[in-house]
Amino acid sequence: MSPAAIMLSMTVNGEPVQVAAPPHWTLLEVLRYRLDLIGSKQGCDKGDCGACTVQIDGVPQLACLTLAIHAEGRAVTTVEGLGLLAGGVHPLQDAFDRHTAAQCGFCTPGILLSAEALLRKRGREVSRAEVCEALAGNLCRCTGYTKIIDAVVDASRVMAGANTQEAGRGE
Amino acid sequence: MLRLPQFEVVAPESVADVVTALQRPGARVIAGGTDILPNLKHHLGTPQHPAELPPVLVSLSRVTALRGVALDEAAGVLRIGAGVTLSQLSEHPEVQRRFPSLSQSAGAVASPPIRNMGTIGGNVNLDTRCRYVNQTHFWREALGGGCLKSEGNVCHVVPGGRNCVAAMSSDNVPVLISLDATIVQAGPEGVRELPIEEFYKADGLAHTNAKPGEVTTELRVPLPKGPRRSHYIKWSVRKSIDFPLVSVALRFDLGEDEATVAAVKVVVGVLGSKPRTLSKLDDVVGKKFGDPAVARMVSDAAYAQCKPLENVPYEAAYRRDMIRVYTRRAIEALAASAE
């Protein structure tokens, strides 16, 4: 007999969610196969590739190695919710578009969430070395890293500029 | 897609309740999940019973008592809760200031998202791996049905071997041994503290001295009593994500002049299932740290005493050479940075 399903309560992209799932399911399986949030990708499914990266309470983590039960009571952000953080299109998404930083696009959702955490943590323009370190757990098999790094640095510049403008308006 | 086998999950809120829950037959601990879940997805069960998958996982996710790092000046130790993540450990100001090699090793594990999940308690209990077992069930079947550590009864590393030689590839364990850390284990018979050096044994199937039903609750690292230079060396195929091919923890305690070597401890990982503490380093004591002979003597001792096996990628002979090269270079760099 298989163990009984569990009822999980969590916040997904700002919305409170209640969902039932078997206890051996990962957060990635719940997101993709219960909540239809298929932006988070199922790549290697064992922690090598980073395509499933989501944020849990703002920290990038691998949904494929997170038991769904471990997300109980916590706030999960997927690529579908990234725009909400910025009230529309996130500056990172805009920069990826302008720099053609997505080739096949499979790694892009995970990379966006790792990059967003970096930019939020730093709160200023970031260096290429900082971006490389922050994205070291996200593989791009098109190997288009140059444009990805360009886009993240550019987005950090745009966001730092926006902060300065806002600060100016406040005076 | 790699599906997990079916299991139940319980998440107690106290260490006592975790110990009670671990009494259930086949129960196993899950903390960050970055070691046990890939293994379960590969259908690798307990080390002792590779084919026997756990019916229940005891999660530490709600045990908040395990999450702190505390400086205990009175006892002269840094107390690190087993539930502290590798990111938190690596970035902790006291760890960075007093134990640079530990900050380096915690920050060298796998990749940033894995360090945000994996805990130090999980890392010191990291299961042993080798290139033939860290594979999917499908891959192992193609090899002819696994090995001593999975569903088979042969060793692919040592032909004819009857002992599993899977590698202990934790980045932090060699460093914690080099720092004379102790490990605290809570179990049905109570709480015990033992030197972490005595926690490991040379058996890939059962590489720790954890007693049945025990859970690691804390690591205690003695504070340095004088000037010290320490460093962690990791060489891996890629600079991120991969397990080490060579790992060496260096610790030189210096005299009050900050130049003369007063004590030295060097620990090498990724050989077999037990890290090796180098012996015969007494001649280094009393020498000036900046003396090129120190780097030469220590790296030569590492080469002489360490014999890597073909249990991880790259040829064993090449890795043995690299132990010497990386050790020498690291000591030279440490000496140069101290001047």
Same domain, yes or no: B80 and B200: yes
Angle at B80 (CA atoms; ends B82, B167), nearest 5 degrees: 55
**ipTM for the complex shown:** 0.94
The CATH number of A85-170, from 3.40.50.720, 1.10.150.120, 3.40.50.20, 3.40.50.920, is 1.10.150.120
pLDDT at B8: 94
Q: Is B112's Cβ below 8 Å from some Cβ in A?
A: yes
Distance CA B58, CA B74 (A): 34
Question: What CA–CA distance (Å, rounded) separates A68 from A136?
Answer: 25
Residues B201 and B296 in one domain: no
Q: Does A62 contact B at CB distance below 8 Å?
A: yes
d(CA B225, CA B252): 12
Instruction: Give the position of tokens 């100001």.
Output: B93
Q: How far is CA A147 from CA A39, A46, B225, in A?
A: 21, 27, 49
Pairing of strands B215-222, A53-56: unpaired
> Which candidate, B324, B301, B319, places its Cα nearest to that of B309?
B319
Chain B residue whose CA is closest to A48: B241
pLDDT at A171 over 50: no
Structure tokens at B292: 């090129």
Mean pLDDT of B123-130: 96
Whether A137 sits inside 8 A of B110 (CB atoms) is: yes
CB contacts of B33 in chain A (<8 Å) are 65-67, 70
Is the domain of B83 the same as that of B33?
no
> Could you tell me if residue B261 is inside a domain?
yes
Q: What is the pLDDT of residues B105-114, one digit of tens each?
A: 999 999 999 9
- pLDDT tens-place string over residues B14-33: 999 999 999 999 899 999 99
* pLDDT over 50 (residue A170): no
- Determine the average pLDDT of the residues in B78-97: 98
Q: Are B9 and B57 in contact (CB under 8 A)?
A: yes
State the average pLDDT over residues B229-243.
96
Chain A residue numbers touching B8 (CB-CB < 8 A): 3, 23
Average pLDDT of span A14-31: 97
Give the gap in angstroms from C-alpha B29 to the nearest C-alpha of chain A.
13
Residue A165 pLDDT greater than 80, yes or no: no
Q: Does A46 touch chain B (CB under 8 A)?
A: yes
Cβ distance of B240 and A69 shorter than 8 Å: no
- Nearest beta carbon to residue A50 from set B6, B41, B113: B113
| B84 and B196 both lie in a single domain | yes
Looking at residue B156, its pLDDT comes to: 94
Q: Is A85 on the interface with B (CB under 8 A)?
A: no
Residue where one domain finishes, among candidates B58, B79, B97: B58
Q: Residues of B with CB below 8 A from A136's CB? A: 111-112, 239-241
> Given this model, what pLDDT does residue A85 score?
74
Q: How confident is the model at residue B38 (pLDDT cuts 50, 70, 90)?
A: very high
Which has the higher per-residue pLDDT, B295 or A162? B295
Kindly state the average pLDDT of the residues B156-179. 95
Tens of pLDDT, residue by residue over A82-91, are 988 788 899 9
Model pLDDT, residue B46: 64
CATH number at residue B47: 3.30.43
Determine contact: A60 vs chain B, CB below 8 A: yes
Average pLDDT over residues A38-57: 97
Decide if B186 is inside a domain: yes
**Is residue B334 scored above 90 in pLDDT?**
yes
Structure confidence at residue A166 (pLDDT) = 65
Please tell me the number of Cα atoms within 13 Å of B281 on its side-chain side. 24
Reading the block at residue B277, the tokens are: 């503490």
Least confident of B7-16, B43-52, B226-235: B43-52
State pLDDT tens for residues A55-67. Answer: 999 999 999 999 9
Touching A: B residues 12-41, CB under 8 Å? 30, 32-34, 37-38, 41
**Based on the domain organization, do B54 and B82 belong to the same domain?**
no
User: What CATH number is attached to the domain comprising B187?
Assistant: 3.30.465.10
Q: What is the mean pLDDT of residues B145-155?
A: 90
User: Are residues B282 and B303 both part of a single domain?
Assistant: yes
Interface of A with B in 88-147 (CB under 8 A): 114, 133-134, 136-139
Task: Give Cα separations from B259 to B26, B127, B192, B196, B222 (angstroms).
Answer: 53, 39, 38, 29, 22
Q: How confident is the model at residue B201 (pLDDT cuts 50, 70, 90)?
A: very high
Q: Which of A75, A108, A103, A76 is nearest to A92 (CA)?
A: A108
Number of domains making up chain B: 3
Name which of A2, A42, A70 to mutate to probe chain B: the one with the most chain B Cβ atoms within 10 A of its Cβ: A70
Range of the domain at B199: 67-124+167-222
The residue ranges of DSSP E strands in chain B, in sequence order, are 8-10, 28-30, 56-59, 69-72, 77-81, 182-187, 190-195, 215-222, 228-235, 246-254, 261-269, 276-277
Range from B154-158, B179-183, B188-192 carrying the lowest mean pLDDT: B154-158
Average pLDDT, chain A: 94
Among residues of chain B, what percentage have pLDDT more than 90?
A: 91
DSSP states of B232-265 as a string? Answer: EEEE-SSSSSSPPSEEEEEEEEE-TTSSBEEEEE
* CATH architecture observed for domain A6-81: Roll (3.10)
Secondary structure percentages of chain B, helix, strand, coil, to 5: 30, 20, 45
Q: Are residues B13 and B92 in the same domain?
A: no
Under DSSP, the state recorded for B210 is: P
Assess whether pLDDT exceeds 70 at residue B50.
no
On the question of pLDDT at A77 being above 70, the answer is: yes
In a domain, B152, yes or no: no
A100: distance to nearest CA of chain B, Å?
25
Taking the domains of chain A in order of start, what are their residue ranges?
6-81, 85-170
Mean pLDDT, rounded, of chain B: 95
Q: Which of B297, B294, B304 is nearest to B333 (CA)?
A: B294
Residue environment code for B317-338, b if the CB has 16+ CB neighbours within 10 A, otherwise e = eebbebbbebbbebbbebbeee
CB A10 within 8 A of CB A73: yes
Segment A43-54 shows an average pLDDT of 97
pLDDT at residue B51 above 70?
no
Structure tokens given for B32: 């960050």
CA distance B23 to B295: 49
Boundary (domain end) residue, out of B179, B203, B222: B222
Residues B192 and B79 in one domain: yes
Q: Work out the angle at residue B201's Cα, subtended by the Cα atoms of residues B200 and B203, and round it to the nearest 5 degrees.
A: 130
Is residue B6 located within the same domain as residue B111? no
How close A61 gets to chain B, by Cα (Å)? 5
Residue B338's pLDDT is 65
Residue by residue, DSSP assigns A123-160 as -S---HHHHHHHTTT---TT--HHHHHHHHHHHHHHHH
Q: How far apart are CA A155 and CA A160, in angstroms?
A: 8
Residue B71 shares a structural domain with residue B110: yes
CATH number at residue B287: 3.30.390.50
Same domain, B218 and B232: no
Tokens, residue B174: 């060699």
Q: What pLDDT score does B54 carry?
A: 83
For residue A163, the model assigns a pLDDT of 75
From B2, B11, B117, residue closest to A69, measured CB to CB: B11
Do B94 and B217 sit in the same domain of this protein? yes
